[in-house]
Amino acid sequence: MSENNGLPLIAPGIKPPLDPQFRPAALANRAFRQQLRQFGQSVPVRIALEQADGSVYHFATEIFPEAAPQAAANFLYLERLVKFLLWSRGGWRIYFDGPPALAQRLTAYYRETPTGRFDSELVGQKIYDHPIEVVPTRELPPEHAQTRPLGRHLDGCRIGFDLGGSDRKAAAVIEGEVVFSDETEWDPYFQSDPQYHFEGIMDSLRKAAAHLPRVDAIGGSAAGVYVNNRVKVASLFRGVPPDVFERRVKNLFLEIRRAWNDVPFEVVNDGEVTALAGSMALGRNAVLGIALGTSTAGGWVNPEGNITTWLNELAFVPVDYHPDAPRDEWSGDYGVGAQYFSQQAVGRLLPAAGIDAPAKMPLPEKLKLVQSLMEQGDARAHKIYETIGVYLGYQIAHFADFYPLRNVLVLGRVTSGKGGEVIVNTARQVLKLEFPALAARVELHVPDERMKRHGQAIAAASLPEIPKPAASRA
């Protein structure tokens, strides 16, 4: 197949050995722009996304004039671009300065299609309290962004925790030195009683606290969106009924903070802590962190060393534009991040690699099987990691269209062991071959094994600031 609804699909120069139909978003967009330059005429499109706190982010592109033969590709090009913006930057109101007919099609997409409604309900309603709204306009509101320093506080006796889909981690930190770290398997996704989550988190905190003389602060990371320690959207609680979510889960971390005597407490998206961990370890900014775990977590530390109000939910951003690309089991959309950079990707590639595993084997066990085979030098396992590395190389180029990145930190359970080296080295090869200018500007980093497995919890421990005692009066 050479196109998707008029949008050109380009075969990658370095093919993923287990996925011959892979058609990278980066190459499709590059081909679209090349065709536009060759055509010699274009229509500017400006987009602004508004968030509930008033933050507004702009993005500009160009499309074909309506009468051009290639104009059939305009809608898919814009719809995939807007999807990336929604899940990376976030927002509920989309100001659209472009052809009115395309604004109408975007409105219908978010109201009438299953994948559009999913984005509208999760990004719009659950995170920003409004369904997605497309506003045709010639005047965009001015760009307004909020940033704030994140973490980097290492004084006192702290606990850091990280909640993943297959394990939870905790670390005890004294004056920046790790004195204890622990990893415990759990299965939170489809638990209907949030008491399971509460007891699991408390268990990890108690284990860490046992190695501290006192607890001055607690910081945590978890998949999802958190505002002022309140849960807005989180896959960890997807099995909890909506009424129970509203009654118990929304304020679960406030309940946990009270159980620890209201010490300074912060919980944020795990991707942001991924980026923070990278920035702290590397001593650099403009860091995009990508964690390949149960799902795909992302975080962004901007060139000034701060985080913004961007979502960075990379599990849902487009990766593959082939219409028959694997579909995400939650959103129903095709070709998005979680199917390419996670344990789900490993499980999906097992049959193509010729590795037999019981269908009901949990994803963490499938990953362990592949890691074990990789240690034995199994060529089939090597192809799985090589395939993921090809995905990553092309997706970094796609990320670079939206993030002014200079550093990419790759971590997570999928990258543990020899397989992680294959993933990163293959991604570097892709960048050198297909995107040499980008390869010269962007560095890929992999933390050591200890950082891979416990870096999230350690960085999370640095999130809360411990108030300084008031100066005594003479």
Per-position DSSP letters for 153-218, written without gaps between them: ---SEEEEEEE-SSEEEEEEEETTEEEEEEEEE---TT-S-THHHHHHHHHHHHHHHTTSS---EE
Instruction: Identify whether 400 is part of a domain.
Output: yes
Q: Are residues 95 and 167 in the same domain?
A: no
Domain boundary among 265, 290, 312: 265
Q: Are residues 114 and 159 in the same domain?
A: no
Sign, CA dihedral 349-335-394-272, equals: negative
Query: Quick check: 474 pLDDT over 60?
Result: no
Residue 3 in any domain: the answer is no
Q: Is residue 127 part of a domain?
A: yes
- Claim to verify: residue 116 and residue 161 sit in the same structural domain: no
Let me know whether 358 and 233 are in one domain.
Answer: no
Name the residue with higher pLDDT: 452 or 81. 81
Question: Quick one: pLDDT at residue 470?
Answer: 59
Mean pLDDT of 172-200: 94
Q: Are residues 241 and 336 in the same domain?
A: no
Split into its structural domains, the chain has a count of 3
Range of the domain at 248: 148-265
Q: Is the pLDDT of residue 396 over 70?
A: yes
Residues 261, 283, single domain; the answer is no
Distance CA 276, CA 138 (A): 38
- pLDDT (tens digit, 9 = 90+) per residue, 303-333? 988 877 788 999 999 999 999 999 998 899 9
Burial class (CB in 10 A: 0-12, 13-18, 19+), 54: exposed
Flag the least confident range among 9-13, 117-121, 164-168, 438-442: 164-168
% of the chain with per-residue pLDDT over 90 = 78
Hey, what are 36's tokens? 């536009």
Whether residue 51 is found in the same domain as residue 155: no
Q: Residue 452's pLDDT band (boundaries 50, 70, 90)? A: low
Q: Is residue 24 part of a domain?
A: no
Q: Are residues 189 and 79 in the same domain?
A: no
Identify whether residues 205 and 287 lie together within a single domain. no
Residues 213, 111, single domain; the answer is no
What one-letter code names the amino acid at 24? P
* Residues 260 and 277 both lie in one domain: no
Domain boundary among 265, 294, 316: 265
Check residue 209 and give its pLDDT.
Answer: 98
Q: Rounded to the nearest 5 degrees, what angle is found at the Cα of 172, between the Cα atoms of 166 and 177?
A: 120
Q: Measured between alpha carbons, how far is 321 from 26 in angstroms, rounded to an integer?
A: 9
Q: Tens digits of per-residue pLDDT, 122-173?
A: 999 989 989 999 999 999 999 987 776 768 898 999 999 999 888 899 999 9
In a domain, 33, yes or no: no
Whether pLDDT at 393 is above 60: yes
- Final residue of a domain: which of 200, 232, 265? 265
Q: What pTM was computed for the model?
A: 0.86
Domain presence at residue 2 = no
- CA–chain centroid gap for 63, Å, is 28
Query: Do both 105 and 160 map to the same domain?
Result: no
Residue 142 falls inside a structural domain? no
Identify whether 9 is part of a domain.
no
Q: 240: burial class by Cβ within 10 Å (0-12, 13-18, 19+)?
A: buried
CATH number assigned to the domain comprising residue 278: 3.30.420.40
Which residues pair with residue 409 across a beta bridge? 289, 445
